[in-house]
Structure 1
Amino acid sequence: MKVIKSSVSTVLLGSMVFLAACSSTGSDTGTKPAGNNAAESGAEKKSVTITAAVQKHSAIDALQALLPEFEKETGIKVKFEVLPQEEQDAKVELTLASGSDQYDVFLLDHMYTPKYAKANWIEDLSPFIEKNKSTININDFMQGYVSALSYEGKVYALPLYGESTMLMYNKELFEKAGIAKAPTTFDELKEAAAKLTKDGHYGIVMRGQRGAGMNVYTWAGFYNAFGAKWLVDGKPAVNSDAAVQATQLYADLITKYGPPGGANFSWDQVQLAVQQGTVAMAIDATNFAARLENPENSKVVGKMGYAFVPKGPNGSSPSSATRGFAIPKTSKNKEAAFQFIQWALSEKIQTKTALEGLRADTTRVSVWNNEEYKKKFNFDNGNWIKVAVDSMNQADGEYRPRIPQWKQMGDGLGIAVSSVLSGVSAKEALDKAQKDIEKYFK
């Protein structure tokens, strides 16, 4: 597990350091071009409706508003089934396992790429990409995201959105508390949280709601930063002393210095707490900034600062997370499905959804380099873009272990973290998690 031990200078967007994991095959599978030049290429319109399982998310909201444009270009109708993140994951997995052809496209969490690929539930997109390489321009995607959605050299999904984690802090509350700068270590973080918890305000908010994609997502940064290992000799090792220390700190921050009910907060509740100006700090997704700086529903516009996640004994561990569009093996409309993917992820549409919506999580380098994008998202005098890009560049793809057993492991750890938040000792909770998780590795 790579953990960042010190800050590095900003990496130019045009030369992002990621390992591509894309290959092509000699398949005859292909589609008509879509996206930037679908209409100009004379793409044949198809009388078909495809169904996409997607999570409730700002990227989806922005994309959904443009679906009539895609239908006009191609004749293909797209029906979105929008569900909360955890519910979407559970329903899609049941559908895939049953062999149903209910969905033609779905949003795949990169954590499940190996599992779904090995189960032969999802289509290898490499042949589609090869047939449409001039319009897809896969090298324009942040290659870490492509790699995370690939397995054994085959691309199984293309990234719709991606993020890392950062520390977001209310500069006005910091100034009132006499704190000169953002904390850079866990010790400084705890000290600042305690000092900021007063007069109806709270020091910090983070995800408490149970789940592999909820509390485990942000807690994992503490786990890694303390030097805890996920696996030792291929077996789980989640109850080490380092793991216990990381979990206890995470729980203490939320329960001692967080708002009431914070032990059950999901990511959207974390975001809302910061928007309301009642909480001074949060560690969560980089894409929160667009909503924190939106005057329509935020009270902290222009007051926020953005910094790297603080360091623990083993350095700093920003997250790596992406979700991309995948095609089930059982889909009867694979070519139309890929045509939709190609359109939705094109430079034109990603730029449009970023500039017209609240998309601070696009996956193409060209969009981040777009001058209008830089101007729109010039939060904290441009510091947000710098920290977000550096965090994404530094993040480890194995921030959480991308293994077939991750769902069971992640669920067990989510229960453990939730238990500690409710008062169980970190040692007791992780010992139980270790025992429960071990059975999936026999």
Structure 2
Amino acid sequence: STQSPTFDIMNVDVSQVGRFAPHILTIEHLLETYPEFTYPGLNLDDFVNPVKDYTCTYPPKLGAPWNIDFNGTFTQMPQEVPLMVRFFRKDLYSKEGREVSVTWDEYLDDIRHFHDPSRTRFGTVLMAAKFPSIIMEFHNWLYSFGGKLWDIKKDGTITADINSDVAVSALEHYLEVSKYAEPNSAFYGWAPAAESMSQRRAATCINLTEFASLMDIPGESYVVRDVGYTRNPVGDAGASHHYSGAGLAIPKYSRNPAAAWVFIQWATVSSMQLIAAMDPLALAVPTRNSVYEDPNVQELIKEGTIRHFDTVKNAIDRDEINIKPGFPKWDSIEGEMLNQLNQVIRGNLSPRDALNIVQKRADDVGPFTF
């Protein structure tokens, strides 16, 4: 917003696209202005649709529960697919002869079964700090239960639907799960929660796929090859996986837009994504379909080095993805929401009272629009 030329490239999160969209050079503009710097055979159709639709198109093309296409503009190159999926200790489930649960109630039964604080083993671990992570984590419950944060109309008008009965039920279940989580969960973001899993302190959890590689680092992880990945638990509206990816964009104020255009193509081309996908210290989920289908990647999936890609691809193919739609004033609600959700987990506020507070804040600031 300062129109500073300091940066030539921006990494724009899905929830922030609306805030920065007026300041970004569109992909169409870059293609037309710099044909001599455009990769031969650049295939924009190879990008995974949900990533392109949610993160890189503004206004976004929305899937369930809205299913609205605003005919938005392609603003940035899809960079990453951090999707929240279920992590579980294969060794524990095998030892106990338990099948991996399917529904949320069965998930709760699992974590009760494995919860044994006397052995410093907890049923689960949450990323429930007063931090954006708690909003992301709660999304998996909310949309699976059939709720949503926002009522989005075809004209782009956005009003809050935060304190519905379904949303309250989802938060009540999330709170019940927290009773069997590592006690520090109320102060953990995504990284400490992932570390808890890698240090054998939790039997199962829901976290971002970018931490899958952390589970298998010899000398750092105690669960090498012992963690599996599967679909999130199923509620009345099916399973739902929170997506919080970002893209690479070029600000209008860059002094080097041609060079920046070359860079963001290079960073998202199939060959670079293939390297990141196969690197055991990254195991980065690709944004291109061709990388999923590459024989080298498929071999590592079969061999077991890459164990989370199929879960991610299945969630994408089933359209089981939820997001924080990136309208410009999202920041005015996020702080209130993460604070009140954290108060619930810490036992200071009931789920209904917390969501009523967030709803009132949204009503006072809104309505919103793209």
TM-score using structure 2 length: 0.85
Give runs of ≥4 in structure 1 deviating > 6 Å: none
Q: How much does 1:336 deviate?
A: 1.1
1:306 aligns with 2:229: yes
Match of 1:283, SS? strand
Change (3 A) 1:191 1:209: same
Instruction: Indicate yes or no: 2:345 matched with 1:438.
Output: no
Tell me the distance in 1 between the aligned counterparts of 2:47 and 2:195.
30
State the Cα deviation string for residues 50-102 of structure 1 (Å, max 9, x = none).
xxxxxxxxxxxxxxxxxxxxxxxxxxxxxxxxxxxxxxxxxxxxxxx222222
Q: How many angstroms apart in 1 are the aligned matches of 2:267 and 2:177?
A: 39
Residue aligning to 2:52: 146
- In the alignment, structure 1 residue 111 sits paired with structure 2 residue 36: no
1:16-415 matches, within 5 Å, as 97-117=1-21, 120-129=22-31, 131=35, 132=38, 134-148=40-54, 149-151=56-58, 152-176=71-95, 178-198=96-116, 199-212=119-132, 214-232=133-151, 234-254=158-178, 256-356=179-279, 357-378=281-302, 384-395=308-319, 399-415=323-339
Aligned amino acid, residue 103 of structure 1: F
SS in 2 for 1:257: coil
Paired position in structure 2 for 1:43: none
CA distance in 1, matches of 2:148, 2:197: 32
Q: Contact between 1:244 and 1:430, CA under 8 Å: does it hold in 2?
A: yes
State the shift of 1:414 in Å: 1.3
The amino acid across from 1:433 in the alignment is: V
Amino acid aligned to 1:249: H
How high is the sequence identity, in percent, across the aligned residues? 24
TM-score normalized with structure 1 length: 0.72
* CA displacement, residues 132-153 of structure 1 (integer Å, 9 cap, x when unaligned): 2634321222122112211243
Query: Helix, strand or coil for the counterpart of 1:350?
Result: helix
Q: How many angstroms apart in 2 are the aligned matches of 1:411 and 1:134?
A: 44
Q: C-alpha displacement at 1:157, in angstroms?
A: 0.9
Do 2:212 and 2:283's aligned partners in 1 also have CA atoms closer than 8 Å?
no
Q: In 2, distance between residues paired with 1:381 and 1:372?
A: 11
Q: Alpha-carbon deviations, 1:187-244, whole Å to 9, x = none?
A: 00111111101132111112112233x1111211101112223234742121112111
CA drift at 1:341: 0.8
Secondary structure in 1 aligned to 2:110? helix
Which residues of structure 2 form unaligned runs of 5+?
59-70
Structure 1: gaps (5+ residues): 1-96
Q: Within 1, Cα distance between the matches of 2:317 and 2:210? A: 15
Three-state SS of the structure 1 residue aligned to 2:245 is: strand
Following superposition, the deviation at residue 186 of structure 1 comes to 0.8
Q: Is contact 1:293-1:300 (8 Å) kept?
A: yes
Distance 2:298 2:217 in 1: 16
Count of matched residue positions in the alignment of Structure 1 and Structure 2: 341
1:174 and 1:196 in contact (8 A); partners too: no
